[in-house]
Amino acid sequence: MHIGFIGAGKVATAYGRYLRGCGLIISGYFDRHGDKLAHACSGTHSRACRDAAEVAGISDMVLITTRDDQIEGVCTALCREGAVTANHLVGHMSGAHASAILATAEAAGAAVFSLHPLQAFAEEEKALADLPHTWFSLEGVDPRLKAVEKVLEKTGNRHFRILPEHKGLYHLAACVVSNYLVTLMDYGMHALEHSGIRSREGFQAMMPLIQGTLANIARVGPDKALTGPIARGDVSTIRHHLDALSPPELAELKAFYAYMGQKTLDLARRDVLKVDTKAEALQEVLKKA
């Protein structure tokens, strides 16, 4: 199996290096940016191709790893040149899109798929270190995609299959637990700054708490990992929090706190908060905020 990449960004470069380290053959890359192309090829000992068609010509599996809004156009252009055949596996690594955007490759006889790593690729080296423990989603219906599953078996990565119509909700969930978690951390730091604690110092102080919470979630799941005033039905503490957010300049923080409090109450009611009177009292306080 010879694997080629069209696009040499962080995802393609890290994944290519990872695949090669697992004993797979990286045939080549194409990218319009010469520096990215040279870096990716150097790290994978693969060919720097002059165009996308050359990648297809030397590859069994072609991964289109451009920006999401370019994938369909790249695939169409590749097929227009006659570079895609029934001998190809053609995929992309977008979390948001299904393999339907590769319809022109499917029409040319190729087996099409989307392969998405459930991992944040903020930095190439960190991503490379995280890839051995990363789950992947595989979407596509062609029986020939067993070859993609064999690649995942070779690298030792666990994966699940997903239906095309569920790709949107799947990616939404990934964004919430990854991207929105960053937003939530920023909200906490912003509130901390208003208490007079410097952001950098506050973040360092909060990290053990954050890591401990994530460890609890990993150990027992969100339902049972919840602690704090809402989990124990502590109405007076929630009132105290809302009072602290009463200055007009903190109105946005207060609205966000109240919304998240209501969602946390919904979560608490599923497991840790069994007393209905406490739950009702909390609901009333948060609604009035």
Q: Does domain 2-162 have CATH number 1.10.10.60?
A: no
CB within 8 Å of 267: residues ≥ 6 apart: 222, 223, 226
CATH assignment of 171-288? 1.10.1040
DSSP string, 170-227: HHHHHHHHHHHHHHHHHHHHHHHHHTT--HHHHHHHHHHHHHHHHHHHHHH-HHHH--
Quote the mean pLDDT of the chain. 96
Q: What is the pLDDT of residues 14-57, one digit of tens each?
A: 999 999 999 999 999 999 999 999 999 999 999 999 999 999 99
Fold equal for 2-162 and 171-288: no
Q: What is the pLDDT of residues 90-130, one digit of tens each?
A: 999 999 999 999 999 999 999 999 999 999 888 999 999 99
**pTM to 2 decimal places:** 0.86
- Domain layout of the chain by residue ranges: 2-162, 171-288
Q: What is the pLDDT of residues 179-234, one digit of tens each?
A: 999 999 999 999 999 999 998 899 999 999 999 999 999 999 998 999 999 999 99
Lookup result for tokens 């994966």: 159
**60 phi-psi bin (left φ>0, alpha ψ -120 to 50, beta other):** alpha
Query: Cα 105 from chain centroid?
Result: 26
The pair of three-digit structure tokens given for residue 36, joined into one six-digit string = 């990215």
